[in-house]
Homo-oligomer: A and B are copies of this chain.
Amino acid sequence: MIRLGIIGTSSIAHEFATAAKASGQFEIKAVYSRTQFNAQSFGEGYGADLFVTELDKFTALEEVDAIYIASPNSLHFEQAMSAIANGKHLIVEKPIFSNTKEWEAAFSAAKANNVFLFEAARHLHEPNFALVKNEIAKLGEIDGASFTYAKYSSRYDQVLAGEEPNIFSLNFSGGALSDLGVYLLYAAIAWFGVPEEVDYAAKKIQTGVDGAGTMLLKYPYFTASLHTSKIYNSFADSEIYSAKKTLILDGVNLIQSVELVDGETNERYQLAEKASGHFMDDEVQAFARVLNDPENPDTIEDYERWTQISRDVNRTMEALRKKAGIVYPADLDEA
């Protein structure tokens, strides 16, 4: 049993705690929050018995093997560094860090301290995500791709009322790219590799972050356009093009439908596997597999592959943000 500490008490942290506990691989041991009450209210239902309000005391707990971080984005780095210094393995919600400076510092520290550092990019671990990668290889030369993840956030109502919720705040490294676009980038980079050049036409909202935008990822022989938004809804499918064959996905995240369309016959073949259980089961199992068998060359290979994708996504996000002129306070801190 991997004894887990949890930082953050939002709904995503609840989901992760539920999946982690249900997996039989993790024991929810401790919760950190700024107030004892919040930590306790969050953790007691999962059987946790340690509730801590000071970060350094929490990350030093001997009863904890690994820490899951689901706090606002801009807090990930300091929390992760504290946990790494205390020899804890880490699972950090996407987007893992605000910029490449933080990414490099944290992964260097993790390596030096001999701990695993995972970005919780859950779709990367879905069977259908791997299935799509496999279908892409069969298609041969790719001619284009169009991915969409655009969903109106109820928090945007607060922005319109003059407030600045974390996910729409520069101070908390928020915005559409950071929150939803990251899923699109994970898919593009895992499936097609690192683009040669990127551009980002962003719609900035009153708080200064991108509420929506279209990314162009330029590969040698095609361009992938990635469309994200937290201020309106898209119902469009995502598509991958190769001459007469088109793969139609109901999204690149939580993929439930993968249709291969033959453009000559217009016949459609459903390729997706049925997902079962909790939507975080796959990632929870993936992380547990590495943590439980850290010397196995296969698990190490998986970890290194995930780390490479995380790094590429992080770098690409920073390049895209620069193109749109979006600067986080986290970018300005002393190195």
Contacts and interface: CB of A to CB of B under 8 A. Distances in A.
B232 A243 contact: yes
Nearest to A234: B239
Which 3 residue pairs are nearest across A and B when measured between Cβ atoms? A232-B241, A201-B223, A233-B263
Task: Please classify the interface of chain A as helix (H, G, I), strand (E, B), loop, or mixed, using the class held by over half of its residues.
Answer: strand
Contact of A199 (B199, B236, B242): B199
Contacts of A203: 143-144, 221-223
27 contacts: A143-B211, A143-B231, A143-B232, A144-B232, A146-B234, A152-B263, A199-B199, A199-B201, A201-B216, A201-B225, A202-B223, A203-B221, A203-B222, A212-B222, A214-B214, A214-B223, A214-B225, A216-B216, A225-B225, A231-B243, A232-B241, A232-B243, A232-B246, A235-B246, A235-B248, A235-B261, A236-B236
A188 interface: no
Contacts of A199: 199, 201, 216
A318 to B, nearest CB: 20
A89 to B, nearest CB: 39
Chain copies in the assembled complex: 2
A214 B216 contact: yes
Given A143-B211, A143-B229, A232-B242, 9 more contacts: A143-B203, A143-B231, A144-B229, A152-B243, A156-B243, A214-B223, A214-B225, A225-B225, A232-B246
Interface string A236-257: 1101011110101000000000
A234 B259 CA distance: 12
B213 A223 contact: yes
A150 interface: yes
A315 interface: no
B146 A227 contact: yes
Interface in A162-214: 199, 201-203, 211-214
Contacts of A223: 201-203, 213-214
A59 interface: no
A218 B204 CA distance: 13
Contacts of A263: 152, 232-233
Contacts of A244: 152, 232-233
A237 B239 contact: no
Contacts of A156: 243
A148 interface: yes
A199 to B, nearest CB: 7
Contacts of A144: 150, 203, 212, 229, 232
Contact of A236 (B202, B211, B237): B237
Contacts of A216: 199, 201, 214, 216
A244 B157 CA distance: 10
Nearest to A151: B263
Interface string A129-145: 00000000000000110
Contacts of A146: 148, 214, 227, 234, 236
Contacts of A236: 146, 236-237, 239
A236 B259 CA distance: 13
